[in-house]
Amino acid sequence: MVATVLRIRFRVLGNTLVRSPIQMVGFIFGVIGALWMLLLAGVGLFFVGTLDLDIARSVVTTAGALLTLGWVVGPIFAAGLDTTLDPAKLAPFPMTTRQMMVAITAGGLTGVPGITTAVGSLAVFLVWARYPVAAVAALVCVPLGVVICVVASRAVAALAAGIGGGRRTREIIGLVGFVLVIFASPIFVGITGAVVSASEQGVQLQALVTGLSWTPIAAAWAVPGDLAAGAWITGVLKLVIAAVTLAVLWWLWRRSLSASVVGPPARTATRRRSGSLGWFGVMPSNPVGATWARSLTSWTRDFRYLRQLLLIPFAPVLVLIYSRGDIDGPFFAASGLLVGFFAGILAYTDVSYDGTAFATVLQTGIRGRADRLGRMLGSATVSVPLVLLADVVTIAIAGKWELLPAVVGGSMGLTLVGLGVSAVSSALLVVPTPAPGDSPFKRVPGSTFTMFLAFFLCWALVAILALPAVIPAVLAIFAGATGAGWVSLGIGLVWGAVVFAGGVLIGGTRFDASAPRLLAQLRTFKGA
């Protein structure tokens, strides 16, 4: 049964790649990336093997911990979980829950990330080649570590998707999990930074790695090193920890899986009073107003949009962490610019989130200009206040009120230019996105490569077009030319408005020509 399911999985992958060239390109890039990482891991671990035993132990343990974390965190940032073998799809077949879990695990192991992990972890044997005991132990521990990776990623995703009954509850839990995971990375960077500075102050890095090796994420990888060093008791204990980790993860996954297969998520009775129109009662009754109200409703209620807004607090935190908590320096004061840079471009592929509901828009025969304006006003209604808030808060924390005009000018310029670019880009391209209410962990096939490419092109364009506002702002912030701040404010607002208007006009013309093509493309994504 498991073999049959795996065959289906590869057939699905093959058919998808044959059907869509862009997904093929994305897949090839994925494979190239994986090979590159394998090469790095192999060469790196080979040299580590020639070093001192303590260093080798630390490196393998840390690498194992990072790998496990990557499996849990990675799906959200990059690829999403491969849902070819979705429990809901497997449910009609006569399989026990256990068989289903084995099949999904095997599917995870045989995907590109799974194969990469499995092959890469073989490189661990390069390290332990000189220590026969460790090499023998690794025969057990490496597969154990790899399986923990796969099972952990599935268990976390199943838990995030399965907790709670109602749609709203699930979405909120998904969002909270998403926030935690997003901030896990900067927090991790921060902790690493703290560890490095702590070790400079005499704290042994070694001790921290030893501590790490007792945690579920690293235990399996630490066992061979312990045995090689002759620490039999700790080695055996860590092996027990790893085994228990796998058992607990398996149990958690099984529980949420059997619950979700038998009892699909219940319908909730969330409802508004009739006559409560929300934004639709506020906006003018014309195509721009209707689009504006709908866009704003999405930005404030649809979790796919809300997830994007989480980037806004992310930017100053990121700056703070990379500047090692230096709130007095110019970088933190300038982080409002980064916020504006993020915020304006959020709607760069706004039509994608409509999905096939875009047909409703097209049926009304709305003119492109009105559609663009409505969408960008919706985005601006959310992003402009948030950017201003971020500007004021960061400046207040930094205590440099004299820089406010520069920061506001630069960030508003970036936001408005971003909106203008989005008005054009979202009329030209759609990318596969999750359906509303989908788990943030779910992968949309083919999305990764196209999305990143389009996103970076748009970003580059924004960066270039916003230079007239950003240059004076940077002069004011970093060179202390306070007068330049007011110049930046003036240019940012005027030039930003010009680019915004130009984007709406150009995007409108493009939209009139390309809207049926966008719908046709969105229809092809639907099956995916």
Q: Which residues bind another protein (CB under 8 A)?
A: 167, 267-278, 280, 283, 285-287, 289-291, 293-294, 297-298, 301-302, 354-367, 435-437, 512, 516-517, 519-520, 523, 526
Q: Which is nearer to another protein, 82 or 350 (CB)?
A: 350
Joined together, the tokens standing for residue 208 give 């921290």
Count of positions (residues) in the chain: 528
How far apart CA 508 and CA 502 sit, in angstroms, is 10
Q: Which is nearer to another protein, 249 or 361 (CB)?
A: 361
Q: Which is nearer to another protein, 233 or 271 (CB)?
A: 271
Q: Which is nearer to another protein, 235 or 355 (CB)?
A: 355
Least distance to another protein, CB of residue 281, Å: 8
Least distance to another protein, CB of residue 286, Å: 5
Query: Exposure string (b/e) for 195-221, b if CB count within 10 Å is 16 or more?
Result: eeeeeeeeeeeeebbbebbeebbbbbb
Query: Exposure string (b/e) for 338-350, b if CB count within 10 Å is 16 or more?
Result: bbbbbbbbbbbbb
Joined together, the tokens standing for residue 22 give 């862009």
Least distance to another protein, CB of residue 507, Å: 17
> DSSP for 99-141?
HHHHHHHHHHHTSHHHHHHHHHHHTHHHHHTT-HHHHHHHHHH
What is the Cβ-side half-sphere exposure of residue 398, based on CA atoms within 13 angstroms? 28
CB 97 within 8 A of CB 258: yes
96 dihedral zone (left: phi>0; alpha: psi -120 to 50; beta): beta
Least distance to another protein, CB of residue 264, Å: 14
Distances (CA, A) of 179 to 215, 264, 380, 438: 23, 25, 23, 16
If you search the block for the tokens 């971020």, which residue do you land on? 390
Least distance to another protein, CB of residue 292, Å: 10
Least distance to another protein, CB of residue 231, Å: 56
Q: Which is nearer to another protein, 386 or 512 (CB)?
A: 512
Least distance to another protein, CB of residue 352, Å: 13
Phi, psi of 440 (to 5 degrees): -65, -15
Burial status of residue 442 (CB atoms within 10 A of its CB: 0-12, 13-18, 19 or more) = middle
How far apart CA 511 and CA 367 sit, in angstroms, is 8
Q: Which is nearer to another protein, 233 or 272 (CB)?
A: 272
Least distance to another protein, CB of residue 514, Å: 10
CB 314 within 8 A of CB 183: yes
Give, as one character, the DSSP assignment of residue 334.
Answer: T
How far apart CA 295 and CA 112 sit, in angstroms, is 37
Q: Looking at this protein, which amino acid is placed at residue 44?
A: G
Q: Which is nearer to another protein, 14 or 399 (CB)?
A: 14
Least distance to another protein, CB of residue 279, Å: 9
Least distance to another protein, CB of residue 511, Å: 12
The dihedral through the CA atoms of 280, 283, 288, 294 has a sign that is negative
Q: Which is nearer to another protein, 166 or 216 (CB)?
A: 166
